């Protein structure tokens, strides 16, 4: 079984709709991240969480919110989706005490906003 899972894997929605992307991990890691990937731009950090009660904004948090329901679960919400949020979204985890911050990625969710 995959260590980091994301649901759904693909989603097509309309402008203005509320969307939730979910991430679960079985690695036992405290740190979780949400990234967005656009062509030619690499990955950009949306939000990150170091613990269940810890939520932090990343580089591009506007238009997004997150919820850390448990150590193993980290959800990303688009309250009112817009077309320029069409992208590939990745969830990642890392160990709390990892000095090199190697991150382990889920398979990605491809989101299309029409």
Partner 1 sequence: AQKVTQAQTEISVVEKEDVTLDCVYETRDTTYYLFWYKQPPSGELVFLIRRNSFDEQNEISGRYSWNFQKSTSSFNFTITASQVVDSAVYFCALSLAGYQLIWGAGTKLIIKP
Q: DSSP for 78-92, please give it.
A: ESS--GGG-EEEEEE
Cα angle for residues 70, 105, 57 (degrees, 5° grid): 60
CB 22 within 8 A of CB 75: yes
Q: Should residue 97 be labelled a site residue for partner 1 when binding is judged by CB under 8 A?
A: no
> Chain-centre distance of CA 76, in angstroms?
6
Q: Should residue 55 be labelled a site residue for partner 1 when binding is judged by CB under 8 A?
A: no
CB 33 within 8 A of CB 91: yes
**Pick 81 or 92: Cβ nearer partner 1:** 92
Using the contact rule CB under 8 A, the part of the chain among 11-19, 21-29, 66-74, 88-96 near partner 1 is 88-96
CB 26 within 8 A of CB 1: yes
Spell out, one character per residue from 1 to 40, where the chain touches partner 1: x when CB under 8 A holds, - when not. Answer: ------------------------------x-x------x
**Pick 84 or 101: Cβ nearer partner 1:** 101
The residues of the shown chain that bind partner 1, judged by CB under 8 A, are 31, 33, 40-45, 48, 50, 88, 90, 94, 99-105, 107-108, 110
């Amino acid at each position: 079984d995959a260590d980091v899972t994301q649901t759904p894997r693909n989603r097509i929605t309309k402008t203005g709709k509320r969307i939730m992307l979910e991430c679960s991990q079985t690695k036992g890691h405290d740190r979780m991240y949400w990234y967005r990937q656009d062509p030619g731009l690499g990955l950009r950090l949306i939000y990150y969480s170091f613990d269940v009660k810890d939520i932090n904004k990343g580089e591009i948090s506007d238009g997004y919110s997150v919820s850390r329901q448990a150590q193993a679960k980290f959800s990303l919400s688009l309250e009112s989706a817009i077309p320029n949020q069409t992208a590939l979204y990745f969830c990642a985890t890392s160990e709390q005490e990892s000095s090199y911050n190697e991150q382990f990625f889920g398979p990605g969710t491809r989101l299309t906003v029409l």
